[in-house]
Amino acid sequence: MCTASVCGICQHKSWSGCSNSDPNHIKKIMNTSSKSDWCSCLPFDEDDAVFIDGTSYPPRAGCGYRRASDSSINK
Ligand SMILES: [Zn+2]
Ligand SMILES: [Zn+2]
């Protein structure tokens, strides 16, 4: 089971846990916070990108890098 985590890069909410990132776990964790609190980092690897039901979720904590312009956290 994945757990909520704080991204060390942008200091926003992320997740960590299952090595194979179960979408249901991620969804459950992230949906308890509003999207504006979510980690806005981009995944290092395309394989780490998380898309669930058409929504883009943050990559696992520690698996992302800061967006070029991280002043805006839309999308
Ligand atoms: Zn999990
Ligand atoms: Zn982040």
How far does residue 59's CA lie from ligand 2's centre (Å)?
8
pLDDT at 18: 81
Is the Cβ–Cβ distance between 54 and 27 less than 8 Å?
no
Q: What is the mean pLDDT of residues 18-22?
A: 76
pLDDT at 71: 58
pLDDT at 68: 83
How far does residue 45's CA lie from ligand 2's centre (Å)?
14
What is this structure's pTM? Answer: 0.83
Q: What is the mean pLDDT of residues 25-43?
A: 96
From the list 5, 30, 25, the residue with the least C-alpha distance to 15 is: 5
Helix count and strand count (H, E) for the chain: 1, 6
Note the pLDDT tens digit of each residue in 39-54. Answer: 999 999 888 899 999 9
- Which ligand is located closest to the Cα atom of residue 5? 2
From the list 60, 55, 3, the residue with the least C-alpha distance to 28 is: 3
How far does residue 60's CA lie from ligand 1's centre (Å)?
11
φ/ψ (deg, to 5) at 36: -70, -15
